[in-house]
A = this chain, B = another copy of it.
Amino acid sequence: MSFSESMTGMKRTHMCTALTEEHIDENVTIMGWVQKRRDLGGVIFLDVRDRTGLLQVVVDISSIGDEGFKKSEKIRTEFVIAVKGLVEKRTEETINTNLQTGTIEVRAMELRILSDAETPPFQIEENSSVREDLRLKYRYLDLRRPDLQKKLMLRSKLTEVVRSFMSEEGFVDLETPMLTKSTPEGARDYLVPSRVNPGNFYALPQSPQIFKQLLMLSGFDKYYQIVKCFRDEDLRADRQPEFTQIDIEMSFVDEDDVMNMNERLLAKMFKEVMDVDIALPIKRLTYQEAMDRFGSDKPDLRFGMELVNISDIVKDSDFKVFSGAVANGGSVRGINAKTCGDMPRRQIDALGEAAVSYGAKGMAWIAINEDGTYKSAITKFLSEEIVEAMVAALEGQPGDLLLFCADKNEVVYNTLGNLRLDIAKRLDLLKKDVFDFVWVTDFPLVEWNPEQKRYTAMHHMFTMPKEEDMELMTTDISKVRSRAYDICLNGNEIGGGSLRIHQREVQERVFEALGFSEEDAYDRFGFLLDAFRYGVPPHGGLAYGLDRIAMLMTGSDSIRDVIAFPKVKDASCPMTSAPGVVEEKQLEELAIRIDKIEL
């Protein structure tokens, strides 16, 4: 049987850490959870916690009387209490410099137990090392951790800063539907069966893309929304079935207008939330440059170790692994892992295995000893001249480790791009307090989808092709570049956008190039193509992954840390155990049946 007193007649006067030495001798009422209780016999010390921090309460029989003292003896960790008392200065020897309120304490005159508590399944403490599955089952307790609370409060502050900026810039906050139509392409939709129209389904939006374009067509000029989006995909560390986008769209703009506005937004976000100054303008790389130099379309610029193309150096060598790759239209490239020349052989082998996991057939390497000699399994296949040229190209110095990959370009990029990150991690170059932004532009309009044996949109189907590539649309669509741009931070794509197609013919041509029949395109997007008949302004926009930005700002390793109630790998919630079984009657109303029951 639990025990709880009413708070009737009591009003909280202060949050715990609002009390300072200025309040000494004042009567105050504080309320919160008991973090710790120390019984010194005759005097009980209680550390009381609220969202602002801790405050020490002294319960002394001489101040509170017999009954109050007896009550306080029942108190355990995580009890919720209300304390009316007097703020007092601590004696020199009891001052706790680790505590914001460490120079004062509250002497209890009246104490109520508002709620008792069983011993929680784990202790409430910063940087808990408790298993995540247990913490997520008891998420309401996990969320009592001050570090987690701070992260969610930072996220709240972040959205506030975004909203105030967007409003100052004249953007209108407009809500778009959650119950909408299933879209082809992109990821898998979450579906919602309709009761009123049996056999029909809504889809939860993967993004408000079409709606925000229609709002531009309506003349709202500047739209933004912080909005939940949904993708029914298998989860990775930084993915959730539902996630939050900062969604932006503008009319009568070109790339520079969108990018400039967003740079101001990012600068404001990082200044006001993190007190970090971002140097503007943010660097820009084309997609091709990003791939050539960093092996990634979301390059991490916190460190160098850029890719170097040595194809010309090795293309005529007798080492077929190298010359063959070049001859087949691929390339040979390398990176210089500075100071890693003394890496033990088994660690180098581990890098080689990683390279294979990234798609390469293998990894070649040259370690430069301190005396300038080489350790390598490939130098013997190459002329001294070529080896020297390779080392020179990578600016190899004694103590460096040079890694090479020879294959089709996409394999080389992916392998070296990832090895670059692995080595940076090992060398501790990925500083969490450095925030390095870069725009990546000029993406290919389409990419080859080997499963579906057709081209699919790289950004999305509404992305405008570059004017100068328009002629390639019918001759070689794979070469068409788009007016898309991603904004990357420390190797993470935190946002992406594009100028949109605003001419119906161009939109139809893109549908066609992506293999949609006219009928198909109309079935799915008829209303958009119809809308395009009635006067469309040039427009473009961008969408940020809010969860990911909050994750990077808080230095978290997972977006789960910046989501109050996240899902786990199988898209379930360990706390509510959603998804769950529903009543037969509910399914009947929706006119659906579960397949496996039928089998």
Residues of A within 8 A of B (CB): 1-2, 4, 6-8, 11-12, 15, 31-33, 49-51, 78-80, 82, 114-118, 120, 138-141, 143-144, 149, 152-153, 156, 159-160, 163-164, 167, 172-182, 188-204, 210-211, 214-215, 217-221, 228, 230, 232, 234, 241-242, 244, 251-252, 254, 257, 467, 502-505, 527, 531, 533-538, 563-565, 567, 570-573, 575-582, 586, 588-598
The reply to whether B564 and A174 contact each other, CB–CB distance below 8 Å, is yes
A594 to chain B, nearest CB (A): 5
The reply to whether A178 and B230 contact each other, CB–CB distance below 8 Å, is yes
Residues of B within 8 A of A576 (CB): 180-181, 210, 527
The reply to whether A527 and B575 contact each other, CB–CB distance below 8 Å, is yes
The complex places the Cα of A195 from the Cα of B193 at a distance, in Å, of 14
A523 to chain B, nearest CB (A): 9
Residue with the highest number of chain B CB atoms closer than 10 Å, among A33, A144, A582, A596: A582
Residue with the highest number of chain B CB atoms closer than 10 Å, among A175, A592, A595: A175
Residue of B nearest to A172 (CB): B156
The reply to whether A595 and B593 contact each other, CB–CB distance below 8 Å, is yes
Partner of A115, one of B140, B536, B579: B536
Q: Decide: A219 near B565, CB < 8 A? Known: A115-B503, A192-B204, A197-B572.
A: no
Not counting A51-B221, A178-B204, A593-B598, a sample of 13 additional A-B residue pairs whose C-beta atoms are within 8 angstroms of each other reads: A2-B505, A11-B257, A51-B219, A115-B502, A141-B531, A143-B218, A156-B174, A178-B230, A182-B582, A191-B586, A203-B582, A211-B565, A592-B592
The reply to whether B219 and A31 contact each other, CB–CB distance below 8 Å, is no
The reply to whether B534 and A175 contact each other, CB–CB distance below 8 Å, is no
A214 to chain B, nearest CB (A): 4
Residues of B within 8 A of A204 (CB): 178, 192
Residues of B within 8 A of A31 (CB): 251-252, 537
The reply to whether A595 and B198 contact each other, CB–CB distance below 8 Å, is yes
21 sample A-B contacts, Cβ–Cβ < 8 Å, listed by A number? A2-B503, A12-B252, A31-B251, A50-B221, A51-B220, A115-B535, A120-B534, A139-B214, A156-B173, A175-B228, A175-B244, A175-B563, A178-B228, A179-B567, A179-B573, A181-B578, A210-B576, A215-B564, A527-B575, A527-B576, A593-B598
